[in-house]
Structure 1
Amino acid sequence: MDAGIAAHEAPDALRLAAQTALELPLLCQYWLDRCVHVYAKRHVLSLDPWIPVVEIKQRLARSAALQRRLADGPGLPSTELPDIVEILTLASRPGALLSGIELLRVRRVLEMAAGYARFLQPIDDFLFGDAEILTPNPILLGRLRDSLDLDGVLLDQASPELARLRQQLRVQRAQVQQQLQGLLRERERREIWQDPHVVQRRGRFLLPVKANFKGRLRGIVHDRSASGETLFIEPLGVVEQNNLLVELEAAQRQEEERILRGLTTLLGSETERLLLTLERMGRLEAIRAGLELAAVWGGSIPAVRESASFNLRALRHPLLVLRHFDDIVGNDLALGEEAKQLLITGPNTGGKSALLKAVGLLHLAAYLGLPIPAEGELGYFPSIYAVIGDAQDLQADLSSFSGQMRQVRDILAQVRNDTLVLLDELGNGTDPREGAALAQAVAADLRECGVVTILTSHMAVLKRYALREDGVLLGGMGFDLERLQPTYQLQLGRAGASQGLVIARKIGLPDKVLALAHAIHAGEQENWESWEDRRDSLLRNAEEQAASAQAAAEEQIRLRVQVQKELDKAAALRLRAEEEARKEWQKMLADARVQVRTAIAGLKQGRNTQAATETLDRLDQHLGATSAAEPELPTPGSRGLFLPLRQPVEVRRVDVAGQRLQVDLRGKQLWIPLGQFQADAGLALPREEGRSQYVAPEEHPWQLDLRGQRRDVAEAALLRHLDAAVAAGRNQIEVLHGKGNGVLAELVREFAEQDPRVASWRMARPEQGGGGVSELELR
């Protein structure tokens, strides 16, 4: 590749590599998983962290504003929405025609946009400006609501002409069917019908005639059955009426197309604004999802400086918090003002790389507008570069060391004093002395350029470099030698030892090997490390004493707060009990006054002193009682009335916890709510010749097929099926009656309207049988 082209493309490529190394794509995936609709997911995927600091502050301000709203008021409307971008694009084309289903999807989105606008309007804050954009055109939304039902079918009220045509169609169909039904009932023609029902073929009403009786009915043959035994004939007397019916149906289709085209044109005029509405809806839902995600790690909205420096307290790696929740140790870190570089040392798995990644990832997350698991102030870095992990590339014939040095070379060619550079284990993968020399040289070059840099290393040369040079901090990750576990706590001012020999001894490496290792190590180490160990011991003792004092103070504060909470809680309970008692007495006194007035009125009218005395005695007993007796539950064997059907029943079982009873209703056992039973021991149960067994809902057939049955037979079958369904505890049944001449459909509708056990009736959806299937909801 040409060197000039490589240098020109390097900044974007290096920043993208840093995003991957710092696991920003994985964090965004957690964010996407919490987004409810497609517009929010598109917004998250479109976000770029490399934007001016002013825009970063605007993103965080929006997050803070929504966070306050959600804390103080109702939740943001949130539901899955259809993707209407292609529908809007189609609507904007001249002569476009959208279907009712497509327009219904647009209506759903507009109604959600209206809900967003209502959520934003009450408060004048950073989000208030989006309320006007999210408020849909009232004319468009009103016409969509008035024109379409919940299935996307045009309503009669969509236009006066459509209502007129549909009314005429209903009248015309009824007249044609009535005339054909008259022919079916003619006694002299009874034997010619294959099936005494009116059928419909290609929009025309016909009669099914046996083929060998063709000459008995003058008319036009429109179709023949597959067996050839049935002819579908249109009698000459209904030809003109059928013609009128076809003409009306064509006029209806034309009017429906006109209405849909008008709605499409109106929608097309709003396309540009609606696309902006979708973008704002996506942004608002994305912010909500980000706040939901950040709540898992206890995120707060950070302040962002306009300089390349930061000061963070209790910073934690967000992805580690998502995996381990409260087990992650927080660290304090400030860099970029007095000191530009930080060298982190310590044992393997001690948290060096995690802390390095956390600093970079928190900056990127905040640049996207997310709350972060830290407090304090972030810096503004137009570029963040990171060399983390194994840079080996077998296809490019690069070893780990070669790949790392290639990344470092590209970074050094691009860095400025407002850049953040993160280098993990720089110089590994080659001769330790040469790697250490290169690592120190790179660190020195970055320091001279004023670049904010964090490095991790085990190398003693870099530890001495950090102690020697001004503007370089040395920090070590703590390690508990007794438990042989890292503490993950950053300790500034001290070097974290690798603890390789100590760990090897704890693990049980042979003493001979350990002795030789100690001898070799002692010959190569300088006395500064022993002095450093003594200094570390003194610092550790001082920190432990300070920590103990701080813990005692915090415990005292915690106990004081806990005592105050208990006092407040007791006071609140006392006030609530007093208020409840006051209300109860007021109610009792009000009832007593009513009864006393009634007794006085009786005395005035009939001078019945005995009844008045009894009333006052009852009042004395009621007002002096400490508690009312709880109503008694029915017991097995009790008799009473099943209120919905006004039928006498006998109690078989009582479910106290569920407040329900199992009763015997005409030989069938079913569970009913306690409120539907009225006890009456004097009721007589009806005698039945036989008793049917209880049928579980999953065993009872939910579908009844009446097709081809006579009306009286079908009615009896429907009654038996409903009895069994109620006994089995079903909430819904389906009845297949076919379309035909509508006789069975009318039977089912009349039955549903008359039987008190049926709560509602409706035709099934087209994909489930349409007009040939009825769905009955049971009480």
Structure 2
Amino acid sequence: MSELATLADSANALRESAQMALELPLLRQLWLGHCAHIYAQRHVSSLSPWVAAEEIRLRLQRSASLQRLLAEGPSLPTLELPDIKALLVLASRPGATLSALELVRVRRVLALAAEYAQFLGRAEDIFQEDAALLAPHPILFARLRDSLDEDGALFDHASPELAQLRQEVRGQRGQVQQYLLALLRERERRDIWQDPHIVQRNGRFLLPVKANFKGRLRGIVHDRSASGETLFIEPLGVVEQNNLLAEAEAAQRQEEERILRDLTSLLGAEVGRLELTLERMGRLEAIRAGLDLAGLWSGNVPLLRESPSFSLRGLRHPLLHLRHPTSVVGNDLDLGEDARQLLITGPNTGGKSALLKAVGLVHLAAYLGLPIPAEGQIGTFSAIYAVIGDAQDLQADLSSFSGQMRQLRDILQLTPPDALILLDELGNGTDPREGAALAQAVAANLRDRGVLSILTSHMAVLKRYALQGEGVLLGGMGFDLERLEPTYRLQLGRAGASQGLRIARKVGLPEPILALAEAIHSGAQENWENWEEHRDALLRKAEEQFASAQAAADEQTRLRAKLQQELDKAAALRQRAADEARMEWQRMLANARAQVRSAIAGLKQGRNTQAASETLDSLDQVLGMANTAPQALPAVGSRGLFLPLRAPVQVQRVDPAGQRLQVDLRGKQLWIPLAQFQPDETLALPKERGRSQYVSPEEHPWRLDLRGQRREEAEAALLRHLDAAVAAGRSQVEILHGKGNGVLADLVRVLAQQDPRVAAWRMARPEQGGGGVSELELR
């Protein structure tokens, strides 16, 4: 293996190690749990944070765009989908035939893709290309939708040949059953039947005869019961009819196979596009799932800087926030512009490591396109390396310190200038003086190379290094001395004390030991006066900068409030002008109506057509000028009057470009011009009558449900259904009336016999509803 390949493998290993240390796999697992289907899960599993900056920017743009779409309108559909990748591979092979159920699985995926495309149709940004791609092929989708029901059965109208063959099968089956029923009713044979019902064996209709009466019925014995007491006999008189039925059913199966083969071929021609569609569906659902997950930590989509630097406000560790949503403290952190290195000090369990991990994890999450628990800007880093926790490797016979040093060696060898280095408790695990020397040397090396780095430590020598070093920022995690508890708040410019002796006293270590420890510590304590003075100077400077920033923020808040007042004032003026214009228009309209009434009265009395014509012409001029103002678009859910019918309606959708509305008129959805709608929120919408409601054939073309309706309502609904079905060119409709007392069934049968548009009436097959469903063939 070449040296270049070895270095590349080492870099990838360090990246993987950092992702493990920063708990990215756990975050990815939580993301997968929010994905609705397998295509999104595949997308999330395949995502890598190490892509070009432009790809990261696109990921963040997609998240921000989908976040806006979800905030403005309906939710993105979330459905579990079957995995059809193997079916697409099979469909692409010449001569392949998918089963009806397999094609239904494909149709389910295409249906959701169509909903995705409709959802993205409102987008005018980065999702426009996806909206066009996700829309399924219209012919393929229509064929699958019109040929198969949800259970995988082919509709009769899947082809004209299939409709004819099924009609023949039904007719032949009816003849066979009528013949056998006649035999069952013969009085002289009543005692020979084991069970007076028709049975079916191997596709042939038979009669169950008691074994000891075998000679009473001439026919072919096809089967015997397990007990031997029953023979299943095909009477000789029905053998030829059963043969004809078998031939018709075979022809029907051949036609069904041909239809499935044609549908598979049509699907195979679209495989390339569909594979890309599945990938885009996975990406879209993965983004939605990411927004869902990020909503748990109130995530924001950050901006991506072009430089290896970042500025974050209210930074929280996302996984900690999920475990403790109300108690995680947010911290502000800027690094890379004025300072390239941050040293974080403070007591154990004070939040040093959590803050270190939060910086790395939010960058990795943002690189995947996730909103992060912070506001601001993230940096563009070619690599993020981290040495966190115990690096002990028993198999390699390495101690924690040795493992840490090996990782550190590889990082120092491979780190590019635009990397982010995170080192937790560097130098622990060996002699404190030697560890401190190594830690300071590593920190100085990274600082001199200009590599952005964050380190955590207890060591006093590193605190002095941070105060002395140019471009090094010192920060300490806060500690409440009264309660002896950490505050988890980062305090820049201050070194966080370890508070080891205080904590030891709190947990009850014996007082003689504590006194000796304090004496030793006091004797070994170095002179910190110069360092304290330097620290206080830095603190005063930071406080002055904070005060200046706070003043600027207050001024910005004041200006924003003033601007809002101006906007509110302008809105009030616009509303008042609109109200005055409306009142003027109503006055003009009332005056015009009075003049029209006067003109009509004049025509009735004196037939003065010239005066009436002049009056109407003058009104045309006045009303034409007044009507030039565009009518305001109503909001979805508004009520008003549909002027041509003077009927109350409710707005369902609004089309600003076309100046039209979709309204609900007695259960039907109509698009009407805006001019035909008169807003009136006082109108009451008509209440629905009965338990069921007429549904247009476009929505459910094959079945009308009359159950629970009175006879008059059912008759009116049936006539409307037939009108719409004939107008739509339907050849068959199904009427669901139930068995009940037979009133609705008789109504359907009588009307079918009397209506000239109905060619034939019959009860449905048992598997299609039997006596509870009527099938009407239309002319």
Identify whether the pair has TM-score above 0.5, normalized to the shorter chain.
yes
After TM superposition, give the deviation of residue 266 of structure 1 in Å. 0.9
Deviates more, 1:392-401 or 1:330-339: 330-339
RMSD: 4.1
Q: Determine the C-alpha separation between the residues in 2 that align with 1:14 and 1:75.
A: 40
Query: Residue in 1 aligned with 2:227?
Result: 227
Q: Is the 8 A contact 2:463 2:474 kept in 1?
A: yes
Q: Is the 8 A contact 2:113 2:136 kept in 1?
A: yes
Query: Residue in 1 aligned with 2:473?
Result: 473
Q: Determine the C-alpha separation between the residues in 1 that align with 2:91 and 2:218.
A: 51
**Counterparts in 2 of 1:214 and 1:502: CA distance versus 1, 3 Å:** closer
Q: Is the 8 A contact 1:362 1:372 kept in 2?
A: yes
Aligned with 2:359: secondary structure?
Answer: helix
1:13-412 matched pairs, under 5 angstroms: 13-412=13-412
Query: Residue in 2 aligned with 1:652?
Result: none
Query: Residue in 2 aligned with 1:624?
Result: none
Q: Is the 8 A contact 1:416 1:449 kept in 2?
A: no
1:453 and 2:463 correspond: no
**Counterparts in 2 of 1:351 and 1:749: CA distance versus 1, 3 Å:** closer
1:459-538 matched pairs, under 5 angstroms: 459-528=459-528, 532=532
1:468-520: CA deviation from partner (whole Å, max 9, x where unpaired): 12111111111110111111111111211111122223333333222221221
After TM superposition, give the deviation of residue 15 of structure 1 in Å. 0.4
Q: Determine the C-alpha separation between the residues in 2 that align with 1:300 and 1:212.
A: 84
**Counterparts in 2 of 1:274 and 1:338: CA distance versus 1, 3 Å:** same
Task: Supply the AA of the counterpart residue of 1:120.
Answer: L
Q: Determine the C-alpha separation between the residues in 1 that align with 2:216 and 2:68.
A: 83
Query: Residue in 1 aligned with 2:9?
Result: 9
Q: Determine the C-alpha separation between the residues in 1 that align with 2:124 and 2:162.
A: 45
1:602-628: CA deviation from partner (whole Å, max 9, x where unpaired): xxxxxxxxxxxxxxxxxxxxxxxxxxx
Q: Determine the C-alpha separation between the residues in 2 that align with 1:341 and 1:534.
A: 18
Quote the sequence identity (%). 71
Task: Supply the AA of the counterpart residue of 2:265.
Answer: T
1:185-215: CA deviation from partner (whole Å, max 9, x where unpaired): 2233233222222222111112222223222
Aligned with 1:476: secondary structure?
Answer: strand
Q: Determine the C-alpha separation between the residues in 2 that align with 1:410 and 1:539.
A: 37
**Counterparts in 2 of 1:80 and 1:429: CA distance versus 1, 3 Å:** same
Deviates more, 1:178-187 or 1:298-307: 178-187
**Counterparts in 2 of 1:418 and 1:164: CA distance versus 1, 3 Å:** same
After TM superposition, give the deviation of residue 227 of structure 1 in Å. 2.5
Q: Determine the C-alpha separation between the residues in 2 that align with 1:289 and 1:529.
A: 55
**Counterparts in 2 of 1:542 and 1:467: CA distance versus 1, 3 Å:** closer
Q: Is the 8 A contact 1:501 1:514 kept in 2?
A: yes
**Number of aligned positions between the proteins:** 605
Q: Determine the C-alpha separation between the residues in 2 that align with 1:280 and 1:21.
A: 31
Task: Supply the AA of the counterpart residue of 1:212.
Answer: N
Deviates more, 1:87-96 or 1:12-21: 87-96
Q: Determine the C-alpha separation between the residues in 2 that align with 1:753 and 1:522.
A: 102
**Counterparts in 2 of 1:248 and 1:175: CA distance versus 1, 3 Å:** same
**Counterparts in 2 of 1:752 and 1:504: CA distance versus 1, 3 Å:** farther
Q: Is the 8 A contact 1:314 1:330 kept in 2?
A: yes
After TM superposition, give the deviation of residue 773 of structure 1 in Å. 10
Q: Determine the C-alpha separation between the residues in 1 that align with 2:477 and 2:64.
A: 34
**Counterparts in 2 of 1:211 and 1:509: CA distance versus 1, 3 Å:** closer
Q: Is the 8 A contact 1:494 1:532 kept in 2?
A: no
**Counterparts in 2 of 1:482 and 1:196: CA distance versus 1, 3 Å:** same
After TM superposition, give the deviation of residue 156 of structure 1 in Å. 0.5
Query: Residue in 2 aligned with 1:417?
Result: 417
**Counterparts in 2 of 1:772 and 1:201: CA distance versus 1, 3 Å:** farther
After TM superposition, give the deviation of residue 532 of structure 1 in Å. 2.0
Q: Is the 8 A contact 1:345 1:457 kept in 2?
A: yes
Q: Is the 8 A contact 2:198 2:208 kept in 1?
A: yes
Aligned with 1:208: secondary structure?
Answer: strand
Aligned with 2:377: secondary structure?
Answer: strand
1:403-451: CA deviation from partner (whole Å, max 9, x where unpaired): 1001001111101111110000000001101111111111111122211
Aligned with 2:233: secondary structure?
Answer: strand
**Counterparts in 2 of 1:442 and 1:33: CA distance versus 1, 3 Å:** same
Q: Is the 8 A contact 2:739 2:771 kept in 1?
A: no
Q: Determine the C-alpha separation between the residues in 2 that align with 1:197 and 1:330.
A: 78
Q: Determine the C-alpha separation between the residues in 2 that align with 1:361 and 1:538.
A: 30
Task: Supply the AA of the counterpart residue of 1:444.
Answer: A
**Counterparts in 2 of 1:450 and 1:755: CA distance versus 1, 3 Å:** same
TM-score computed with the length of structure 2 as normaliser: 0.71
After TM superposition, give the deviation of residue 297 of structure 1 in Å. 1.4
Q: Determine the C-alpha separation between the residues in 1 that align with 2:456 and 2:542.
A: 26
Task: Supply the AA of the counterpart residue of 1:56.
Answer: I
Deviates more, 1:197-206 or 1:387-396: 197-206
Aligned with 1:326: secondary structure?
Answer: coil
After TM superposition, give the deviation of residue 38 of structure 1 in Å. 1.1
Aligned with 1:467: secondary structure?
Answer: helix
Q: Determine the C-alpha separation between the residues in 2 that align with 1:772 and 1:232.
A: 27
After TM superposition, give the deviation of residue 522 of structure 1 in Å. 2.0
Q: Determine the C-alpha separation between the residues in 1 that align with 2:357 and 2:508.
A: 33
Task: Supply the AA of the counterpart residue of 1:112.
Answer: L
Task: Supply the AA of the counterpart residue of 1:231.
Answer: L
Task: Supply the AA of the counterpart residue of 1:309.
Answer: S
After TM superposition, give the deviation of residue 371 of structure 1 in Å. 1.1
After TM superposition, give the deviation of residue 150 of structure 1 in Å. 1.3
Could you tell me which runs of 5 or more consecutive residues in structure 2 were left unpaired when the two chains were aligned. 580-688, 691-736, 746-764, 774-779
1:42-73: CA deviation from partner (whole Å, max 9, x where unpaired): 11111100011011101101111111111112
Aligned with 2:324: secondary structure?
Answer: helix
Deviates more, 1:122-131 or 1:509-518: 509-518
Deviates more, 1:139-148 or 1:81-90: 81-90
Task: Supply the AA of the counterpart residue of 1:215.
Answer: G
**Counterparts in 2 of 1:114 and 1:9: CA distance versus 1, 3 Å:** same
Q: Determine the C-alpha separation between the residues in 2 that align with 1:411 and 1:163.
A: 73
Aligned with 1:385: secondary structure?
Answer: strand
**Counterparts in 2 of 1:14 and 1:218: CA distance versus 1, 3 Å:** same
**Counterparts in 2 of 1:454 and 1:319: CA distance versus 1, 3 Å:** same
**Counterparts in 2 of 1:232 and 1:752: CA distance versus 1, 3 Å:** same
TM-score computed with the length of structure 1 as normaliser: 0.71
1:717-765: CA deviation from partner (whole Å, max 9, x where unpaired): xxxxxxxxxxxxxxxxxxxxxxxxxxxxxxx964465499xxxxxxxxx
Q: Determine the C-alpha separation between the residues in 2 that align with 1:241 and 1:65.
A: 66
Q: Determine the C-alpha separation between the residues in 2 that align with 1:200 and 1:546.
A: 90
Q: Determine the C-alpha separation between the residues in 2 that align with 1:355 and 1:538.
A: 22
Q: Determine the C-alpha separation between the residues in 1 that align with 2:176 and 2:393.
A: 82
Aligned with 2:19: secondary structure?
Answer: helix
Q: Is the 8 A contact 2:428 2:435 kept in 1?
A: yes
Deviates more, 1:313-322 or 1:533-542: 533-542
Q: Determine the C-alpha separation between the residues in 1 that align with 2:63 and 2:545.
A: 41
Task: Supply the AA of the counterpart residue of 1:306.
Answer: E
After TM superposition, give the deviation of residue 220 of structure 1 in Å. 1.5
1:680-731: CA deviation from partner (whole Å, max 9, x where unpaired): xxxxxxxxxxxxxxxxxxxxxxxxxxxxxxxxxxxxxxxxxxxxxxxxxxxx
Aligned with 2:326: secondary structure?
Answer: helix
Q: Is the 8 A contact 2:467 2:534 kept in 1?
A: no
**Counterparts in 2 of 1:183 and 1:775: CA distance versus 1, 3 Å:** closer
Aligned with 1:129: secondary structure?
Answer: helix
Q: Determine the C-alpha separation between the residues in 1 that align with 2:2 and 2:58.
A: 39
